[in-house]
Structure 1
Amino acid sequence: MATLFIRHRVADYAKWRKVYNDFDTERRGMGVSRHGVYTLDGNPNDVTVYHEFASMEAAKAFAGNPRLKEVMQTAGVQDAPDIWFTNKD
């Protein structure tokens, strides 16, 4: 199993969360099997999310999908996100 982590700053957490939630069906169709959202204590606009996938190839395809970048822009993501890929032992 592969897990993708993304940390980014957003302009408005409530707006970002609505777009994130609305993207759920499409996200699952792109291979996400589980996901979670975390916000920095004291700053909800500093968001870290994780997405789990069956394979590293699926995780990398998701991260590189132009649709994801479009949704992130709509959601108000500021600056380039920090992205890292992990394998679960």
Structure 2
Amino acid sequence: MTTLFVRHEVSDYVAWRKVYDAFHQVQKANGVTAQAVYRAVDNPNDITVTHEFATLEAAQAFSKLDELKSAIRTGGVLGAPTVWFTNKT
């Protein structure tokens, strides 16, 4: 199992969350088997999101989706997100 981690700051968590929640069907259609959203204790607009996939290849393909890039822009993400992949051992 591979987990994609994405950390970014957003301009408005509530507005970002609406866009994120509306993206659920795209996640499911592109191999996301589980997901979670975390907010930093000292900055509620500092978000870390995890998405789990069966394979690294599926996670990498998801991270390159045009729909994802569009959702990031629409959701008010500030700057470039920090992205990394991990394998559960």
**Cα displacement (A) at 1:42:** 2.5
Quote the Cα distance in structure 2 between the aligned partners of 1:66 and 1:23. 12
Quote the Cα distance in structure 2 between the aligned partners of 1:81 and 1:42. 18
Q: Partner letter of residue 76 of structure 1?
A: G
The structure richer in strand per residue is 1
Cα deviation per residue 1:30-82 (whole Å; 9 max; x = unaligned)?
11000000000031100000000010000000011111010010000110000
Relative to the length of structure 2, the TM-score reads: 0.97
Structure 1: stretches of 5+ with no match in the other structure: none
The list of structure 1 runs, each at least 4 consecutive aligned residues, that deviate by more than 2 angstroms after superposition, is none
Give aligned-pair identity as a percent.
52
Q: Is the counterpart of residue 72 in structure 1 residue 72 in structure 2?
A: yes
**Aligned positions, number:** 89
Structure 2: stretches of 5+ with no match in the other structure: none
Quote the Cα distance in structure 2 between the aligned partners of 1:75 and 1:27. 15
